[in-house]
Structure 1
Amino acid sequence: MTARPLPLDALEGYGVRLEPFAPSHLEGLRQALARPEVFAGGWGGGPAAFCEGAAFEAWIVRYLPLDSALPVPRPQVRVVRATAGPLAGRVLGTSTITDLVERSESAHIGYTAYTPEAWRGAVNPACKLLLLGHLFDHGYGRVKLQADVRNLRSRAAIARLGATFEGIARRDQQRADGSWRDTAIFSITIDDWPAVRAGLMARVAGAV
């Protein structure tokens, strides 16, 4: 199967809606993510990047890959909103499909963070069901996921998805404090998808 252009649609199901980023989301993202514990594991460049209020809103616009000058196909930044349960209507976080390469049928899901109230529940498996399904349905065959090697919570969350650990990329990205991070790299392929999808569906059903 050959990868096809990926539409930037809103994706909805399993209690969440993934909406293409718009400036109207900034207040909700601030409330969800401007928390020290969100940055503590390495998201956004780590604890040194933490900021609040208007400074956070200015920072996240720079941090997320929103630049219209980026090469085509551009990253697809989506905002996660709950559609069911006690958090219904609230912005919960953000996730992005990036590094889209149609020729090699590969992509990367990254820039992912959720409000602590959504940790360890159905939100991450629900979002991955939508994002991975969107990619595989459009002919992509390999999706990379990664985390700062120090971010044990995120690494465990990626492993729980059913992703395969591929190794450590050393001195891969610079953190906000100037130190260099090693990156733990995982992947899910189209061959993995039936089993991964079944596992995610079971997690979502169990949480409901």
Structure 2
Amino acid sequence: MAHDSRPNDVAWPGARWIEIDDLRLTRGEVTLRAARADDAAGLFAVVDSDECWRHVAGRPSSPDDLVRIIDGARALGRHMWVVLRGDAIVGTTSFLDVSVIDARVEIGSTMYARSEWGSNLNAVCKLLLMSHAFDALGMGRVQLKTDVRNMRSRAAIEKIGATREGVLRRYQRRADGTVRDTVMYSVVAEEWPVVREKLNSRLD
């Protein structure tokens, strides 16, 4: 019989949802705002690399192709942010798999400029997004997924304090046509204060 990790659980209220169109999440010089079609050229320059797309399919072939992705994202349940450092576009990330009734959201489709790898950018973005999810929206769970082979991404997720839950086998196609196993991580509401403190301490 599976172990019940929360035997005294009580009813959790549903979350609420705020469309991201007019939101700006900011810490220091980093800002997240809704991606727009006029971001496509700058964002394409950031994500047009084999390193960004090694673990996922769907690479855009041009800025116009990326405009179609931005315009069509919401119909696919993807709420797409552009990441700015100052006035420069340095990446993108998204809210996915939003379930208000289950108080759950996923952070994914995250790509940063190569120049930002190893910087504090991922910690800032995760702090902003999880603060919004838990504190503003009332989510009970934030999940993150990555390719089992993507050791850089796995290390970054584990560094923020997310819990590894398991592996989803043969879950998603890579750019080369192979089908990847995907590692699932999460942060739940009960863990959020500790994770928030850990992220803040990294950024102070």
Q: TM-score, normalised by structure 1?
A: 0.83
Find the counterpart in structure 2 of residue 86 from structure 1.
none
Q: Cα 1:68–1:185, aligned 2, differ >3 Å: closer, same or farther?
A: closer
Matches within 5 A, 1:1-208: 1-8=13-20, 9-40=23-54, 42=55, 44-45=56-57, 55-61=61-67, 66-67=72-73, 69-70=75-76, 74-83=77-86, 89-137=87-135, 138-205=137-204
Q: CA deviation at 1:124?
A: 0.5
Q: Detail structure 1 runs of 4+ shifted over 6 Å in the superposition.
A: none
**One-letter code of the match for 2:159?**
R
Give the Cα–Cα distance (whole angstroms) in 1 for the partners of residues 53 and 172 of structure 2.
16
Q: Cα 1:102–1:50, aligned 2, differ >3 Å: closer, same or farther?
A: closer
What per-residue deviation string (whole Å, max 9, x for no partner) do you get for residues 139-162 of structure 1? 101011010111110011000010
Give the Cα–Cα distance (whole angstroms) in 1 for the partners of residues 171 and 71 of structure 2.
18
The structure with the larger Rg is 2
Give the Cα–Cα distance (whole angstroms) in 1 for the partners of residues 73 and 52 of structure 2.
24
Give the Cα–Cα distance (whole angstroms) in 1 for the partners of residues 68 and 19 of structure 2.
23
Q: CA deviation at 1:110?
A: 0.5
Give the Cα–Cα distance (whole angstroms) in 1 for the partners of residues 46 and 173 of structure 2.
24
Q: CA deviation at 1:33?
A: 1.5
Give the Cα–Cα distance (whole angstroms) in 1 for the partners of residues 141 and 182 of structure 2.
18
Contact 2:73 2:80 in 1 (8 A): no
**One-letter code of the match for 2:78?**
P
CA RMSD of aligned residues (A): 1.9
Task: Tell me the number of residue pairs that the alignment of Structure 1 and Structure 2 aligns.
Answer: 189
Gaps of 5+ in 2: 1-12
What per-residue deviation string (whole Å, max 9, x for no partner) do you get for residues 53-84 of structure 1? xx2324434556834544xxx4210000002x
Secondary structure, counterpart of 1:5 in structure 2: coil
Q: TM-score, normalised by structure 2?
A: 0.85
**One-letter code of the match for 1:157?**
A
Give the Cα–Cα distance (whole angstroms) in 1 for the partners of residues 68 and 180 of structure 2.
20
Give the Cα–Cα distance (whole angstroms) in 1 for the partners of residues 123 and 146 of structure 2.
16
Gaps of 5+ in 1: 84-88
Q: Cα 1:29–1:5, aligned 2, differ >3 Å: closer, same or farther?
A: same
Q: CA deviation at 1:5?
A: 1.7
